Amino acid sequence: MSRYTGPVCRLCRAEGTKLFLKGDRCYTEKCAIARRNNKPGQHGARRGKESEYGLRLREKQKLRRFYCMNESQFRRFYTMATKMPGQTGHNFLQLLERRLDNVVYRMGLGVSRRQARQIVRHGHVLVNGRKVDIPSYLVKAGDKIEISEKSRDLMVIKENAEAASVRTLPAWLEFDVERMEGRVVSLPTRDQIEVPVTEQLVVEFYAR
């Protein structure tokens, strides 16, 4: 699957829920869902009855777009989740949350996951003192995440860090704004992961 380069607000409208792809705009009245909560296109206002397959497909697409991943990446993480002990759906969400680009976003260093991914790819992030520029890198409990010394004066990172100081961090993360560093306190549990999907439907889609 090629990378989507169109307007991301169309994706939120297509899924009928906020996917928080546009940063701070998603929290204002300019949000596409707040203005036009119908599917894009000429016949978007016509919402027919969803089939069982369609319902599961939509949940899968919603979760994939929420984390800004293409299909091959997404399915690879699902395959990893099936090989782990425990519930596949919970394992899947935990793996997605442990991605480095998502952790950078959750700490507030990126206003969206797309921006957080760019920050990682450009080499601005250190994990346990070493540069990691792979967005899909999986963090572990106890890992130290920080902005490299030479990148701390970048305006976009400074502004994001200042805005992050008033946000509520997930319980499994901690972040020091002044030092621009955080830590993975523990691996996230299901009740600590806020996603607008029913993960069991995603599991059923791939297990069909």
Q: How far apart are CA 160 and CA 64, in angstroms?
A: 24
Pairing of strands 130-131, 173-176: unpaired
Residues 97, 84 contacting (CB under 8 angstroms)? no
pLDDT score, position 40? 63
Q: 19-64, pLDDT tens digit by residue?
A: 666 565 555 665 655 556 666 655 455 566 778 998 999 899 999 9
How many C-beta atoms surround the C-beta of residue 43 within 10 A?
10
pTM of the model: 0.81
| 131, two tokens | 């540069």
pLDDT score, position 49? 75
Q: Could you tell me the domains of the chain?
A: 9-96+196-207 (1.10.1050.10), 97-184 (3.10.290.10)
Q: Which residue has the tokens 């307007």?
A: 7
pLDDT score, position 1? 39
Mean pLDDT (10-residue bins), the chain, 208 residues? 56 60 57 60 60 91 91 96 96 97 94 93 97 97 96 91 82 92 96 92 94
HSE-CB at 206 with a 13 A cutoff on CA atoms is 22
